[in-house]
Amino acid sequence: MSDVAVLAGVGTKTVSRVLNGEPNVSAKTTAKVLAAVEELDYQLDLMAGSLRRIDRRTHSIGLLIGALDNPFSTALTNAVEIIAFRRKSVLLSSSLHLDPRREREVVGELLRRRVDGLLLTTATHSLDIVAAAQSRGTVVVYMDGPPLGMTADAVLSDSRSGAILATKHLLDQGHRRIAYIGARRDVYTIRERRMGYEDELRRWGIAPDPALIIEDANEGTAEAAARELAMSGNPPHAIFSGQNLCTIGVIRGLRSAQAQQRIALVGFDDLPMSDLLDPGLTVIAQNPEQIGTRAAERLFQRLDGDVSDASTSLVPVRLIERGSGEIRISG
Amino acid sequence: MSDVAVLAGVGTKTVSRVLNGEPNVSAKTTAKVLAAVEELDYQLDLMAGSLRRIDRRTHSIGLLIGALDNPFSTALTNAVEIIAFRRKSVLLSSSLHLDPRREREVVGELLRRRVDGLLLTTATHSLDIVAAAQSRGTVVVYMDGPPLGMTADAVLSDSRSGAILATKHLLDQGHRRIAYIGARRDVYTIRERRMGYEDELRRWGIAPDPALIIEDANEGTAEAAARELAMSGNPPHAIFSGQNLCTIGVIRGLRSAQAQQRIALVGFDDLPMSDLLDPGLTVIAQNPEQIGTRAAERLFQRLDGDVSDASTSLVPVRLIERGSGEIRISG
DNA sequence: CTGAAAGCGCTTACAG
DNA sequence: CTGAAAGCGCTTACAG
């Protein structure tokens, strides 16, 4: 910046004024400064500025995501990025690559870079440092899960209602033996989905059958489980898959048992091209754009000084009928 | 940091030594400092440190991507993130959301945060500031495209060979009237794909037919184009789709014309679940993990002091046969 | 409308 | 093995 000041023949404070759009600089001086900036291809050093700035804002926000291997996470990230860009903030994005032990280190890296806020989709192993940062003024917003062990804003899908909707839809088709195949039980939203499934069964007077409940599945084990269920002596009439990657496994499993036209399927969370399958995949679609947008907007409201009580915002889900969930009972 | 120093009863330089793992600190002093750090939940301010540090490294790298709406971009980002994490660097990721006018501003935001390096998948509208940053020591590596108007390392798919492979495969099935439906012509790799297609046709003595070449398509227009071609009086025998989102459109178009079992299709770039379609989708699969990994590793080699000549690294692609590309000529 | 001095939280270059 | 002083590139708080 001093180079620019020298070349323009002004003080550094004047350069700072021009580059930050502060008032009280004559048009002539502004022009001189801008010419020098152009000449030297100068870019303001925002990080140096934030050191002295009264609010210490770095105009960066940290995003912690479980893994980027999922269209849901991608859409979420994209939505967040759009809001951040609008607010002249940059996104420091980190994923865990499925290794929860990295969480502490990843969050630490974000905090050491003094992000203004943290958008967390998962944070079970770094609670202390997140809470400490929050008490120092770092804004914390949870996405796709509730705040764990601390008070913070959260934006998430209404998983329970979605699971109830899915289960009811299958019951409405006449199915009674409905299996659940879901992902990691240690994830809040996943548990909610299983519980919604059980709630609705009970509401219809059906006791959840442990033999029809498979948890902690990934794509591979979901495939094996679906295949096994389909080929068993007493196969289920329908399957509710509690997560999109599991759903892919279930589809493969049903196909390898040639049961995809016989056993109904509703998946939680949508998948691209799932309308092109045969049968088309019926899903409970989440709204990741909305979750990401709301969470990021909440974060910036907080940065703007909103000190109202922390709140949890539930984003509605909806049923999309494409065929697999509308297979009716045939026996 | 001074709080920690006071609490531990040492100088700030000693705190700095402990936190940066520098030698020559007694075990006892180290313990005192660590206890104070723990007590205060202190996190080093990396950005403040980089200001004074001799190499001025911020341990952050900027990633510019066209849009995150594509599994290819996602896989690329993921691979880059893994390498960056390994190198204790954080990823500032920005996408353009398809708006090229944002490019200058986005790149500027990254540069103003003094990223150590820039990983660019697109950079046609910010050449001057990228080049200026490069000449100041910011490492620039291009991904998924060649360096445009400057000298820099690049890592990209061997698009031309892939397009030749796709076209040859369709010719091998007996097809002669092969259409090309591709995305934005202003993207280098997309142009390479079309050129590979034309090259191979000519090698077989077939003149490319302008009526069978559709460019600048997106998912929607690719669908319309495919449908129109399929329903025309003189439909093509096969289609080579030059980009994955176009491919989705083409699949929809062929289906709506009920031609998906009649007109062969090879798509450039793989899509998840494309083996579950009927027919399964034959593709030229890229290797985004490899592109991202190589590009990030190159970037860190440069930061480590490698001053060898800039080089372009071509990552091989491969044909995956799943059915749609193996439909043989039937007329 | 403009600029000189001080200071943000660190690391550097020294001195002990 | 340890720490005091200076300085990185900015913005703040002033003074003119």
Task: Give the closest of A110, A132, A277 to B90, CB-based.
Answer: A110
Contact across the interface for A43 and B112, Cβ inside 8 Å: yes
pLDDT band at A100 (very low <50, low <70, confident <90, very high): confident
d(CA B134, CA B150) in angstroms, rounded, equals 10
Close Cβ partners of B295 (under 8 Å, ≥ 6 residues apart) = B80, B119, B141, B142, B143, B153, B154, B155
d(CA B13, CA B100) in angstroms, rounded, equals 46
Query: Using CB atoms and an 8 Å cut-off, which of residues 264-303 of chain B contact chain A?
Result: 271-274, 276-278
Is residue B165 within 8 Å of B142, Cβ to Cβ? no
Between these two residues, A101 and B78, which has the higher pLDDT value?
B78
Return the half-sphere exposure (C-beta side, CA atoms, 13 A cut-off) of residue A98.
6
Q: Give the phi and the psi of residue A161 in degrees, each rounded to 5.
A: -60, -35
Helix H or strand E encompassing B188: helix B188-203
Contact across the interface for B114 and A82, Cβ inside 8 Å: no
User: Across the A/B interface, how many CB contacts are shorter than 8 Å?
Assistant: 134
What would the mean pLDDT of A313-320 be, rounded to a whole number? 98
Among all protein residues, pick the one whose CA is nearest to the C1' atom of C10: B49
pLDDT band at A116 (very low <50, low <70, confident <90, very high): very high
What would the mean pLDDT of A85-107 be, rounded to a whole number? 88
DSSP string for residues in A126-159: -HHHHHHHHHTT-EEEEESS---SS--EEEEE-H
| % of chain A residues with pLDDT over 70 | 99
Q: Which nucleotides of D are covered by protein (CB under 7 A)?
A: 1-13
Q: What pLDDT, on the 0 to 100 scale, is given for residue A51?
A: 95
Q: Name the nucleotide nearest A42; use CA and C1'.
A: D9
Query: Using CB atoms and an 8 Å cut-off, which of residues 225-264 of chain B contact chain A?
Result: 248, 251-252, 255
Strands A282-285 and A318-320, bridge-based pairing: antiparallel
Q: What pLDDT, on the 0 to 100 scale, is given for residue A99?
A: 77
Q: Name the nucleotide nearest A12; use CA and C1'.
A: C3
CA to C1' distance (Å), from A13 to C2:
8
Q: What pLDDT, on the 0 to 100 scale, is given for residue B233?
A: 94
Q: How far is A84 from chain B (nearest CA, A)?
A: 10
Each residue's pLDDT tens digit, B66-109 = 888 889 999 999 999 999 999 999 999 998 877 778 889 999 99
Each residue's pLDDT tens digit, A282-312 = 999 999 999 999 999 999 999 999 999 999 9
Task: Give the closest of B43, B90, B114 to A45, CB-based.
Answer: B114
B60 touches chain A (CB under 8 A): yes
Report residues of chain B scoring pLDDT below 50.
Answer: none
B138 touches chain A (CB under 8 A): no
pLDDT band at A320 (very low <50, low <70, confident <90, very high): very high
Q: Is the CB of A54 under 7 A from strand D?
A: yes
CA to C1' distance (Å), from B19 to C10:
12
Contact across the interface for A81 and B69, Cβ inside 8 Å: no
- CB-count exposure of residue B262 (10 Å: 0-12, 13-18, 19+): middle
What would the mean pLDDT of A254-279 be, rounded to a whole number? 97
Is residue B38 within 8 Å of B15, Cβ to Cβ? no
DSSP type of residue B328: P
**Which of B 52-111 have CB under 7 A of nucleic chain D?**
52
**Which of B 17-46 have CB under 7 A of nucleic chain D?**
17, 23-26, 28-29
Q: How far is B190 from chain A (nearest CA, A)?
A: 23
**In this structure, what token pair is assigned to residue A173?**
């088709």
d(CA B241, CA A287) in angstroms, rounded, equals 30
B53 touches chain A (CB under 8 A): no
Q: What pLDDT, on the 0 to 100 scale, is given for residue B67?
A: 82
Query: Using CB atoms and an 8 Å cut-off, which of residues 12-41 of chain B contact chain A?
Result: 41
Q: What pLDDT, on the 0 to 100 scale, is given for residue A127?
A: 86
Q: What pLDDT, on the 0 to 100 scale, is given for residue A101?
A: 80
Each residue's pLDDT tens digit, B25-34 = 999 999 999 9
Is residue A37 within 8 Å of A19, Cβ to Cβ? yes
Q: Which residues pair with B214 in a beta bridge?
A: B181
d(CA B117, CA B247) in angstroms, rounded, equals 34
Interface residue of A20, A43, A270 to substitute, partner B, most B CBs within 10 Å: A43
Is residue B123 within 8 Å of B101, Cβ to Cβ? no
Q: What pLDDT, on the 0 to 100 scale, is given for residue B20?
A: 94
A252-266 burial code (b ≥16 CB/10 A, e <16) = bbbbebebbeebbbb
d(CA B60, CA A112) in angstroms, rounded, equals 12
Whose tokens are 């204790």? That residue is B88
Q: Among residues A321, A326, A302, which one has the least CA distance to residue A141?
A: A302
A81 touches chain B (CB under 8 A): yes
Query: Using CB atoms and an 8 Å cut-off, which of residues 165-224 of chain B contact chain A?
Result: none
Q: What pLDDT, on the 0 to 100 scale, is given for residue B102?
A: 86
Q: Is the CB of A232 under 7 A from strand D?
A: no
Q: Among residues B70, B68, B89, which one has the least CA distance to residue B80?
A: B89
Q: Name the nucleotide nearest A33; use CA and C1'.
A: C2
Q: Which nucleotides of C are covered by protein (CB under 7 A)?
A: 1-13
Q: Name the nucleotide nearest B52; use CA and C1'.
A: D8
Q: Is the CB of B119 under 7 A from strand D?
A: no
Q: How far is A267 from chain B (nearest CA, A)?
A: 15
B329 touches chain A (CB under 8 A): no
Among all protein residues, pick the one whose CA is nearest to the C1' atom of C5: A13
C-alpha torsion B69→B75→B79→B80, nearest 10: -20
Q: What pLDDT, on the 0 to 100 scale, is given for residue A72?
A: 95
